[in-house]
Structure 1
Amino acid sequence: MSITRLDPGPRMSKAVIHGDTVYLAGQVGEPGSDLAGQTREALASVDAILAEAGSDKSKILQVIVWLADMADFAAMNAIYDAWIDPANPPARACGEAKLATPDYKVEFIVTAAK
């Protein structure tokens, strides 16, 4: 099977396509924005990358959500629940983690089918 890398860099690619599976790098919003802004920006990035890869959110298989503070769980879910395709909800996990910089509040790691 072929492997296609979208925007490969020295450390990572924006996404990797292997066969009919698309693996996205972790998506974050603008550092320093509030949680709502970062959530919306990150999910918009997911939409754009999936479209570039020939997929969309109806084909998402799994989402892993990292929150800098689990106290933001309900606020993140309010935006996520309005964004996700309700007819095709993916498997999902959510946990608290120290993200790459304290300016990040949420990160989404997505795997989708083409």
Structure 2
Amino acid sequence: MAGSAADCIFWQRKLRRHCILYELRNKEQILASKFLSVGHQLGQNWTKWDTSVGSGSPFAYEIVDSGFDSDLSVQEAIELGTFKLPCRHRDSASGGSINKIRWMGIYRKL
């Protein structure tokens, strides 16, 4: 098993171990509300480096990896992100749009 499914199993087992330790130390079960009170996805906090977490990310990474060059101009990078990323249509949950982000914010929504 690899990829997201394996990651989920890993974190599920790790979380289970922590819950068991909590129960042994505190003589009570941990409440689900403790996890729900966090209020955001924990996946991004665990990795701390991945800025793309959508279900279309694997498609996008594949295209970007094949077309990326360290000497890309800004215009070439915009074209790579705009015209060479058909992943927005491959993934039904992506919404079919791409936000082009610059250092100072959203450049243009496609």
Q: Could you tell me the TM-score, scaled by structure 2's length?
A: 0.30
Higher helix share: 2
Higher strand share: 1
- When Rg is computed on C-alpha atoms for both structures, the one with the higher figure is 2
Q: Could you tell me the TM-score, scaled by structure 1's length?
A: 0.29
More contact order relative to length (CA 8 Å, sep ≥ 6): 1
